């Protein structure tokens, strides 16, 4: 039996059924966050420092996430991120401010219309079990994208590539390590010399395996899975599905005009490596 919902009040509003967007890097979490942030009464944060510190601590050391105090820690971090004040958005990263269309330092949401909360920060996926403990009535939307396109975008993103430095898998690293996609300490040395495309593929593979586990463990009323490609091809249908799932109106405009995925950006050798590393998942998801 799940514990009762913790009563968290932010700016005078009880946090009920918060929405969390989960995805591997460059899989579309930011796109859906943009739609939610521009929806009436929705306050969605992305990458706030207080939350990011907790999320990455849990991602890199899963044992911390399994500790008894983890739900309180992430709940407190989110409460701080969701608090609205005159200069609240000044602490938000540029991606969050841009998604909300914010100019200046004012808040992205009016407290008078505030009704729902959410977060779509990078790598929130690895904290999903803790978020469920912290908010038993939470709603999760996870987005899946073709791993080959994900790898192409990761290779061009310095922030993503920074996680693949050799010191990220030190002697005291925990295994299995879903964040980097490495299953055991025996694979540490092989990972360190693997080409960047292979490391990116491992990270995508680890993320979609976590997503598959969530689909098995969470009831349908709490988890919705979207394909990035479907969001681009039929944004109206995607938004309709999200709105029905969350039980609230969702802005459609933010999903229009996004460029279609291109699969020709990887070199032949990188493409072959990605398909070798992640063949099982690419096939299971219908991308191969």
Say whether both 46 and 119 belong to one domain: yes
The answer to whether residues 32 and 163 belong to one domain is no
**Claim to verify: residue 169 and residue 117 sit in the same structural domain:** no
pLDDT at 120 over 80: yes
Total domains in the chain come to 2
* Whole-number pLDDT of residue 200: 97
Structural domain that includes position 139: 1-145+219-257
CB 143 within 8 A of CB 214: no
105 and 230 share a domain? Answer: yes
Same-domain pairing of 268 and 278: yes
Q: Compute the mean pLDDT over every residue in the chain, rounded to the nearest whole number.
A: 88
The residue written with tokens 């200046």 in the block is 104
With bands split at pLDDT 50, 70 and 90, how would you rate the model's confidence at 76? very high
pLDDT at 1: 47
pLDDT score, position 105 = 59
Q: Is 234 helix (H, G, I), strand (E, B) or coil?
A: coil
Interatomic CA distance for residues 222 and 139, integer angstroms: 5
d(CA 64, CA 54): 10
My answer on whether 97 and 207 are in the same domain is no
Higher pLDDT residue, 206 or 1? Answer: 206
Same domain (yes/no): 124, 189: no
Q: What is the CATH number of the domain that holds 27?
A: 3.40.50
49 and 167 in a single domain? The answer is no
Residue 3 has pLDDT above 60, yes or no: no
């Amino acid at each position: 039996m799940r514990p009762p919902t913790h009563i968290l009040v932010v700016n005078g509003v009880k946090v009920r059924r918060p929405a969390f967007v989960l995805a591997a890097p460059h899989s579309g979490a930011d796109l859906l966050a943009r739609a939610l942030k521009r929806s009436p009464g929705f306050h969605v944060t992305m990458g706030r420092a207080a939350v990011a510190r907790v999320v990455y601590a849990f991602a890199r050391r899963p044992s911390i996430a399994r500790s008894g105090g983890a739900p309180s820690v992430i709940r407190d971090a989110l409460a701080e991120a969701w608090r609205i004040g005159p200069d609240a958005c000044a602490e938000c990263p540029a991606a969050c401010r841009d998604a909300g269309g914010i100019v200046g330092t004012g808040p992205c949401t009016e407290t008078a219309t505030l009704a729902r909360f959410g977060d779509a920060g990078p790598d929130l996926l690895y904290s999903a079990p803790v978020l469920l403990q912290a908010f038993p009535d939470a709603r999760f939307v996870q987005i899946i994208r073709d791993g080959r396109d994900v790898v192409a975008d990761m290779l061009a993103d310095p922030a993503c590539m920074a996680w693949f430095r050799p010191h990220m898998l030190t002697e005291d690293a925990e295994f299995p390590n879903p964040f980097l996609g490495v299953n055991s300490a025996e694979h540490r040395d092989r990972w360190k010399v693997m080409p960047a495309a292979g490391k990116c593929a491992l990270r995508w593979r680890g993320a979609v395996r976590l997503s598959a586990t969530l689909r098995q463990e969470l009831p349908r009323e709490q988890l919705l899975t979207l394909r990035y490609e479907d969001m681009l091809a039929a944004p109206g249908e995607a938004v309709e599905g999200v709105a029905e799932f969350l039980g609230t109106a969702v802005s459609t405009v933010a999903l229009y005009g996004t460029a279609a995925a291109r699969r020709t950006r990887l070199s032949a050798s990188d493409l072959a490596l990605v398909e070798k590393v992640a063949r099982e998942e690419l096939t299971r998801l219908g991308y191969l």
